[in-house]
Chain A
Amino acid sequence: MTATSKTVPASAATGVGKAGGPPTGKPGAGRPSPGRGKRPGTDHPLTPLLWLGPALLLIAGVVLWPVVEMVLTSVREVSRAGVIRGWAGLENFEALFDEPDLVPVLIRTLIWVVGVVGVTLLISLGLAQLLNARFPGRKLVRWAMIVPWAASVVMTAIVWRWILDFFHGMGNTILLDLGLIDAPRDWLGEPGLAWLWLMWVAVFVSLPFTTYVLLAGLQTIPGDVYEAAQVDGASRWRTYRTITLPLLKPAVLVATVINVINVFNSFPIIWAMTRGGPGHDTDTTTTFMFKLLRLDKEVGQSAAMAVLNFLMIVVMVLFYLKAVRWKEVD
């Protein structure tokens, strides 16, 4: 075992060495005369596998295996105590589709993703433009932008939860003192209001990453394009619309896809602030799935919801990539 693992990297290492300069004619590890025309690294068909092996194992272990386990659980009957009683076929899915709360939760999830990602992108486009401009104190502002990103999401959510708390919250105290409201409000108890506050916190924590991706995109746009536009007498808005935005497309794309996945799966904000309540009024499919597991103790149904979530995210990403024609952008 140790012998092989020692010799293989050695031969591969010589292979890498060869790639740099002209072939030296020295025999590779243990091989009398390597074929001159052959590319390095192809001396054994399985060699690449040894290099990829650890990564593949890791992917299989932490990505594929849980997916398989998830799908298996979704077609099993698991008792509330946790005993696997046997196969359930599609019963878990049928029970899930019978939940009267499923459709409202799905609609809410859609609003959540579109709303949070959309608003985040809009604000970030502005912020990125601001951070790209030269002004005194820019470093400080750029630094400050990172703070919501560096702070733990759970911490941010809990801080907001307590600011908005009905009985003890600072929010009510300040607004009352300023005379903006005349009685304390339960900001996280009224579904509509709670929803807006949740979205605000989600936008707040998504801004730094999005802004920096867009800022990086802005910095790749060469200055002479703008000079040419200036010479042609293009207005600022025209310049932004026909030069900046199209050239920013790859950055916007990356920011959108990553944000969609993040926001769709977002659990800590909702859980820490409202637990999806009152009732299911601020649940998305992710918190709904967790409640099926923890409150209803329906392991199978929860796994079925997980499968559904998984499919939705796959479809969403594929759809989005197709819509913006990923390959052309490349």
Chain B
Amino acid sequence: MRVVALGATATLALTAAAACGSDEADGDGKTITFVAAEYSDKTEPYWQDLVSRFEKANPGLKVDLQVISWDDIDGHVQNLVLNDKAPDLLNLNKFADFAEDGLLYKAGDVLPKEVLDDFIPSFAESSKFEGEQYGLPFIASARLLFYNKDLFAKAKISEPPKTWDELKEAAKKISDLPGDAIGYGLPLGPEEAQGEFQIWINSNGGHWVDDQGNWTIDSPENLETLQFLKSMVDEGLTQPNPAKTDRADVIEAFAAGRIGMIRGLPQTHNNIADQGNKFEYGIAPNPVAEEGMEPSTLGVQDYLMAFDNGKGAQETLRKFLTFFYQEENYSKFITTEGFLPTTQSASEALSDDEKMKPFVEALPQAKFYPVTDPKWTAVDGAVKQQIGKAVQGTDPKKVLEQLQKTAEG
């Protein structure tokens, strides 16, 4: 009741605010609203600067910017749409729901051809819904194995693991060290359980969907993966209670030198630096289930998407988006936030960054979330709440079957 009541109050406030603010702007489409996700505390200053430079260069056009934390943005956007106040431009990690409801402009409607052609093809491909591109590739990220070289040396492990068996062996040696070092940090808590789980299933040849897009969550490979993870947990090679541990927790603990191995992303470098670079660490490809399999990485892609709110803002959107995707503006966002670019021009400009290199090199083998399927939103939410329990008491098979049901339901 509280939530709905809160929602209702928020709605009231929003309606009131919108009623006051948009009178003069609504008709001509010269003002656009832009809801952006907050990647770090540098996000808002970046957008404010970009918007003010855009408005200076295009007198009469206006961008109403709102930067929202990742924790709240989903609910916020759902609330806006529910109350017919959808933003004109949105930055989020999914787009297919909105495309399915017919709310979005096609990419070609709001971007000139030269920008469309600049997107790296694999990213453009995963921005399509039913064959049409709606999402605008925004940033990319990848996950690789980070390992603590000091702990590895102490445990007399000569090189990073290449297979699951080697990883388990290494985790065991590290857990057996005197002190409370943890072998492998396994974050299956709600923050990013879907990411950690996908890295594991991919390295066993499994995935959420098959090539035809049919859901295969309860496949034998995925069950085998869960059973392997469960054995790691049962043998005490991970931190206790993976179901509750969030990714941020293990990254912080790794950065403090307390964990042997975790999956990290480009920004993990910064987390380690923030805690004073207390140890030597290395980055390695994700270990595979059996020798001879090709290592893969989890590719994560976020999007921009333009809403067709029927107020003729298409031209303003096109101008703003073209401005943002100019190489120097776009590269600045990528380097400020420490992500990987989704455009070819920015990739070339950023290709000589040492810390980014392993990630850029891993991208061609990246597997993505099945974001082009609108059902992914439901699966994502369910995985976050349930997958951790599968290594901690609940029968893994039952969990996978339940998730499969959510995906197909």
Contacts and interface: CB of A to CB of B under 8 A. Distances in A.
Contacts of A82: 77-82, 86
Contact of A277 (B2, B101, B189, B394): B189
B78 A69 contact: no
B381 A296 contact: yes
Contacts of B386: 279
Contact of A80 (B1, B86, B378): B378
A281 B77 CA distance: 28
A290 B8 contact: no
B16 interface: no
B98 interface: yes
Interface in A281-317: 281, 286, 289-291, 293-299, 302-303, 306, 309-310, 313
Contacts of A189: 240-241, 243-245
A275 B190 contact: yes
Interface in A81-99: 81-84
Contacts of A70: 1, 4-5, 8
Nearest to B245: A189
B253 interface: yes
Contacts of B9: 62, 66
Interface in B238-287: 239-241, 243-245, 249, 252-253, 256, 258
B1 A186 contact: no
B253 A306 contact: no
B240 A291 contact: no
B78 A297 contact: yes
Interface in A181-217: 183-186, 188-190, 194
Interface string B378-404: 100110111011001010000000100
Contacts of B74: 294, 297
Interface in B333-374: 374
Contacts of B389: 278-279, 281
Interface in A42-82: 62, 65-67, 69-70, 73, 78-82
Nearest to B374: A80
Interface string B1-32: 11111001100000000000000000000000
Contacts of A84: 82
A80 B78 contact: yes
Given A81-B98, A275-B190, A290-B3, A190 B241 contact: yes
- For A78, A167, A278, A297, the residue with the greatest tally of chain B CB atoms inside 10 Å of its CB is A278
A66 to B, nearest CB: 4
Contact of B381 (A100, A295, A306): A295
Given A80-B78, A279-B243, A299-B82, A66 B5 contact: yes
B52 to A, nearest CB: 30
A188 to B, nearest CB: 7
A167 B248 CA distance: 12
B378 A296 contact: yes
Given A186-B244, A297-B381, A267 B2 contact: yes
A81 B392 CA distance: 32
B192 to A, nearest CB: 13
A166 interface: yes
Nearest to A282: B244
A73 B79 CA distance: 13
A69 B382 contact: no
A293 B240 CA distance: 29
B381 A279 contact: no
A298 B2 CA distance: 16
A41 B101 CA distance: 57
A142 interface: no
A306 B9 CA distance: 16
A188 B98 CA distance: 37
B8 A79 contact: no
B310 interface: no
B1 A83 contact: no
B377 interface: yes
A295 B241 contact: no
Nearest to A76: B82
A154 to B, nearest CB: 14
B103 interface: yes
A108 interface: no
Contacts of A83: 81-82, 101, 103
Nearest to B376: A80
A164 B381 CA distance: 27
A244 interface: no
B408 interface: no
A267 B388 CA distance: 22
B359 to A, nearest CB: 26
Interface in A263-283: 265, 267, 274-275, 277-281
Nearest to B386: A279
Interface of A: 62, 65-67, 69-70, 73, 78-84, 100, 166-167, 183-186, 188-190, 194, 265, 267, 274-275, 277-281, 286, 289-291, 293-299, 302-303, 306, 309-310, 313
Interface of B: 1-5, 8-9, 74-75, 77-82, 86, 97-98, 100-101, 103, 180, 189-190, 239-241, 243-245, 249, 252-253, 256, 258, 374, 377-378, 381-382, 384-386, 388-389, 392, 394, 402
Given A83-B103, A183-B180, A278-B243, 14 more contacts: A62-B5, A62-B9, A66-B4, A70-B8, A81-B81, A82-B79, A190-B241, A267-B2, A277-B243, A286-B2, A293-B3, A299-B78, A299-B82, A306-B3
